[in-house]
Amino acid sequence: MFKKRFSMMTVLVACLCAIVVTLGAIFYSMERITGDALGSLKFLKTLVLVREKFVEQPSDGKLFDGAATGLVKALDDPYSVYLDQQSFKDISNVTEGFFGGIGVVVGKKENNFVVVAPLEGTPGEKAGIKAGDKIVQVDGKKTAGMQLEDVVGMIRGTQGTEVELVLDDNKGNERTVRVVRGDIKIKSVAGEMLPDSRIGYIRIAIFNENTSGEFAKKYQELEEQGMQALLLDLRQNPGGILGESVRVAQYLVPKGPIVSVIDREGRKYTEESYLEQVKYPLAVLVDHGSASASEIVAGAVQDTKSGKLFGTRTFGKGSVQTVYRLPQNTGLKLTTAKYYTPSGRSINGTGITPDEVVELPEQPTKDIQLETAENYYVICRNNNLRTNAFKHWFFCFCYIFMIKYLSI
């Protein structure tokens, strides 16, 4: 009898020890993974209670999506977001150059949802939506307190459907705009030789995965047409893929750093140009809608003095987002680093002030920013002509002096 009780006690103690060890291992694993084991247990307990006690049977998919959304929302970063299946598909389409919506890029600035830029030729641009417009309402719903992805999600939609926006022009004037959604296909690069000149003009609307290849092709075409100067238009360019902007900048700035990326551990990675010499006089057009990747190009040109910037102060987005693929075709867009211009400037929140500020009137009859940049090239050309003429006459004078006074 004693032996039987002893055996039962031994088994019981062994089971208790196994439970303690297992719980300890779980607790230790949670501590290592999350840094807060009690917080993890709190989350798991909440999940169990919701699944078992909520008055209706909840969807596990919705619970997990909601938990992931809340987790990223707690970062209080407007550019970090959990991407559900539709959002992940949308962001993939944008980088490839097509998506459904009205063709405006939206950002968050000073707790307002702001139009970074309307994309060229899209329903949003044709409806008169402008960079800097604050989005107050979407289809009758106030945007205050919403997350960026919620606002973007409401604006996007099926081709042919209508969305109603209430916009503030930053002067206290609100207007209602109704826009029919379209199938947005983004032409990243366009260009031509400006009339009656040798100035090549290249417009980059967005930096998607096709941009650097399209830029290289257009650049070569303009060279074959006799280009002697380049005018790069980055106005209303909301950015895009960092690597594409670097590959474009490698055509424009001399050997050395283009941009430095620094993560939270202080690790620094620098993208560089290997161009031995800048080939052409360069002018770059920027405005409030120039953001992110377009600011990388503009900042590199300004810091290396490879050209001059004309227009208005840029948007000021100096952070880097990485998109991670998650199970079930979902994803995570996360701010993973900050970037700095070649001189070490961070433009986050401040933007880049052009070398020559040129404001456009509210109802412009001509593009005075473009005209100012063209005049810059004319001045450069005239200065070069005067310099060359001076060198010519100076060498002639030296030659005559040597013949007349130094000949033996």
> Do 269 and 350 have their domain in common?
yes
- Note whether residue 242 is domain-resident: yes
Domain closes at, from 157, 185, 213: 185
Give the active site residue among 290, 303, 308, 319: 303
Q: How far is residue 365 CA from its own chain's centroid?
A: 30
- Note whether residue 272 is domain-resident: yes
Domain closes at, from 122, 152, 185: 185
> Do 201 and 159 have their domain in common?
no
- Note whether residue 173 is domain-resident: yes
User: What are the residues whose beta carbons fall under 8 Å from the beta carbon of 275, sequence distance 6 or more?
Assistant: 250, 251, 252, 253, 254, 255
Q: What is the predicted pLDDT for the residue at 143?
A: 92
- Identify the CATH number of the domain in which residue 126 sits: 2.30.42.10
The pair of three-digit structure tokens given for residue 85, joined into one six-digit string:
């299946």
- Note whether residue 200 is domain-resident: yes
> Do 217 and 342 have their domain in common?
yes
Bridge partners, 311 (sequence order):
286, 357
> Do 152 and 261 have their domain in common?
no
- List, for residues 67-126, the tens digit of each pLDDT value: 888 889 899 888 898 998 888 887 776 665 556 688 888 888 778 888 888 877 889 999
> Do 265 and 304 have their domain in common?
yes
- Identify the CATH number of the domain in which residue 215 sits: 3.90.226.10
- Note whether residue 310 is domain-resident: yes
Assess whether 29 carries a catalytic annotation. no
User: Exposed e or buried b for every residue in 351-378, given b needs 16+ CB within 10 A?
Assistant: bbebbeebeeeeeeeeeebbebbbebbe
Give the pairing of strands 141-142 and 174-180: unpaired
Bridge partners, 190 (sequence order):
203
> Do 138 and 205 have their domain in common?
no
- Note whether residue 67 is domain-resident: no
- Note whether residue 84 is domain-resident: no
Taking the chain, what is the end-to-end CA distance rounded to the nearest angstrom? Answer: 134
> Do 255 and 358 have their domain in common?
yes
Domain coverage including residue 134: 98-185
3-state DSSP call for residue 55? coil
Q: What is the predicted pLDDT for the residue at 135?
A: 94
- Give the Cβ contact number of residue 228 at 10 Å: 15
Assess whether 303 carries a catalytic annotation. yes
Give the pairing of strands 189-193 and 199-204: antiparallel
> Do 324 and 277 have their domain in common?
yes
> Do 299 and 338 have their domain in common?
yes
- Note whether residue 210 is domain-resident: yes
DSSP code of 315? -
Q: What is the predicted pLDDT for the residue at 385?
A: 40
Domain count, the chain: 3
DSSP code of 362? S
- List, for residues 134-178, the tens digit of each pLDDT value: 999 999 999 988 877 788 888 988 888 999 999 998 888 899 999
> Do 278 and 337 have their domain in common?
yes
> Do 11 and 147 have their domain in common?
no
Give the pairing of strands 256-263 and 229-233: unpaired
Assess whether 292 carries a catalytic annotation. yes
Q: Outline where 210-285 has alpha helix (H).
A: 211-224, 242-249
H or E stretch at 44 = helix 37-53
> Do 130 and 244 have their domain in common?
no
Give the active site residue among 80, 87, 273, 292: 292
| C-alpha–C-alpha distance, residues 352 and 288, integer Å | 10
| C-alpha–C-alpha distance, residues 166 and 174, integer Å | 7
Give the active site residue among 273, 317, 319, 333: 317
Domain closes at, from 130, 165, 185: 185
Residue ranges in the chain whose pLDDT is less than 70: 1-40, 93-100, 363-364, 378-408
